[in-house]
Structure 1
């Protein structure tokens, strides 16, 4: 579930946790409490810095691939999501055509604030193109950046939608090509299956391979049938491999970062880099304050 959190939400949550810890330190005002709070601030910022730095390196280290010539595996793609109505879905509350959405519905509970009632996310694949080829994008478990956020209120309910529209799209994930030259084939099994199919039509089998007309297929005649089946399977395999495969990019099976964004790779890298510097600065300040409090108790 953590994989589908948007990273800037995590950054904002860490900022809130920093503020809460500082308020606890101010409230108690004791050096030991301050050290505990500063230590936790340093720990949270350290983890957030590592998370953002990993994303900076993932984006910077991978060159942008062209869809039709991309290697199988972990790749970076940048292009445009198709915007014709046939390839778009509709967001549940705004009724806007888009390629991806996520929503949350909150209900107000008196002085206790907003409580989450239910939530959902789209699972439909969409098509992106880069002028070189087309690729299906499976958004399940993606960390989505650059989505438009819309908030509406009705009576005691608050509805929050995140919508990713068609147009510029950046994807960092695992590319697999289904069909075409990458089709896994087993000639032996296919020949056996074809011969079993021919056996179901005995009359046609005898007409084709009963050379001596005795109404039976002997070993020599069966060998001729097997060779004919092998030639037919070989021809079929050549035709399958000559067809264009279908490219699909999805969440990596090994748990690596899966990013989906309307931002360019340069702008996305800058955002993560900015947050990484912020968390690194907080980490350094928190560690310095931790030791200062230890040396200057009051």
Structure 2
């Protein structure tokens, strides 16, 4: 059955029950998926538009919007395909395949960096954990080659996605297409995710709590404790010696607190704990990002209407026929 036959009431009426059920199920599934996707994108647009922007120094713990620039802390990374210095990367390797009269690009490898990068605003620096994030970048490189992994660094003329490159690939047979997305130092960043400060808990623990952790750790090596605190060498720690152990652990805890107090706050932005909240990292401006989500929502809404209309037409044609 062809697509044109779906708009022929007599053809729909004469369809076998199995084929009719298949087409009807497909139309309903596409309609429901498009409705869900439209709602999902519209919700993202509203979140981006309505969420107030926080400053890193004063941001509340939880779901937070931060805006700043990507900044380097420590050594940058090398993008695996192009060897470009960057803060974060994602790449896709595709192979051009021809089967009979049809041809398509098929993904053969896809990877993304798991190493955190940093966002800086006028009040501080926040570490961004990319795991689970919907990350869009302003730097996108596309080039072509004859091997699964590119050989050498791509030339500037190759960094495009134009018709010339595509036609060249088709005319010379099977080729590979490499696409790389990068976050570079100084790139603007819009982020929306779960914000926490001092997630290790070191700053919020009291000296007694830290001493308890230290003492439990020391007990795992009891022979070392005996060597250091068993002053009467009877092979045991009496009450007085245990008191010395506790005082030593408390002193160590206060040293750790003093060291931590002098360190800058450790801020982290990561994937929200609630699965219904998106984790967004983008180099696009806030208004541009919102418009993109709304355009996508509108396109899926149109798909919902078209697929829903097709499902209604199929059922009506079947009943009348």
CA root-mean-square deviation: 3.5
What secondary structure is seen at the aligned counterpart in 1 of 2:53?
Answer: coil
Distance 1:228 1:124 in 2: 40
Any conservation in 1 of the 2:62–2:195 contact (CA below 8 Å)? yes
Structure (1 or 2) with the greater helix fraction: 1
Residue of structure 1 equivalent to 2:31: 42
Residue of structure 1 equivalent to 2:3: 25
Distance 1:218 1:162 in 2: 61
Residue of structure 1 equivalent to 2:212: 188
- The superposition leaves residues 199-250 of structure 1 with CA deviations (integer Å, 9 ceiling, x where unpaired) of 4324xx74xxxxxxx8889967447526633652552354255243322222
Structure 2 residue 300 is the aligned partner of structure 1 residue 252: no
Residue of structure 1 equivalent to 2:16: none
Match of 1:58 among 24, 47, 58: 47
Residues 101-112 of structure 1 aligned to structure 2 (within 5 Å): 101-111=89-99, 112=103
Any conservation in 2 of the 1:191–1:229 contact (CA below 8 Å)? no
Distance 1:143 1:183 in 2: 34
Deviation at 1:54, TM superposition (A): 2.6
Deviation at 1:82, TM superposition (A): 1.3
Residues 205-284 of structure 1 aligned to structure 2 (within 5 Å): 206=231, 221-222=240-241, 225=244, 228-229=247-248, 231-233=250-252, 235-236=254-255, 238-240=257-259, 242=261, 243-255=263-275, 256-284=277-305
Deviation at 1:72, TM superposition (A): 2.6
Any conservation in 1 of the 2:96–2:105 contact (CA below 8 Å)? yes
Distance 1:271 1:173 in 2: 19
Distance 1:146 1:223 in 2: 58
- Return 45-54 or 177-186, whichever deviates more: 177-186
What secondary structure is seen at the aligned counterpart in 2 of 1:244?
Answer: coil
Distance 2:6 2:239 in 1: 95
- The superposition leaves residues 135-166 of structure 1 with CA deviations (integer Å, 9 ceiling, x where unpaired) of 11121221112443322112322212222333
Match of 1:138 among 103, 110, 129: 129
What secondary structure is seen at the aligned counterpart in 2 of 1:229?
Answer: helix
Deviation at 1:129, TM superposition (A): 0.7
Distance 1:223 1:269, change over 3 A: same
Deviation at 1:122, TM superposition (A): 1.6
Distance 1:42 1:219 in 2: 75
Distance 1:289 1:131, change over 3 A: same
Match of 1:96 among 68, 80, 84: 84
TM-score normalised by structure 2 residue count: 0.67
What secondary structure is seen at the aligned counterpart in 1 of 2:57?
Answer: helix
Distance 1:38 1:201 in 2: 76
Any conservation in 1 of the 2:214–2:253 contact (CA below 8 Å)? no
Distance 1:109 1:218 in 2: 74
Deviation at 1:80, TM superposition (A): 0.6
Distance 1:153 1:223 in 2: 70
Deviation at 1:28, TM superposition (A): 4.3
Distance 2:253 2:72 in 1: 40
The number of residue pairs the alignment matches comes to: 266
- The superposition leaves residues 46-76 of structure 1 with CA deviations (integer Å, 9 ceiling, x where unpaired) of 0211220231233234322222222233222
- The superposition leaves residues 247-266 of structure 1 with CA deviations (integer Å, 9 ceiling, x where unpaired) of 22222343331111101223
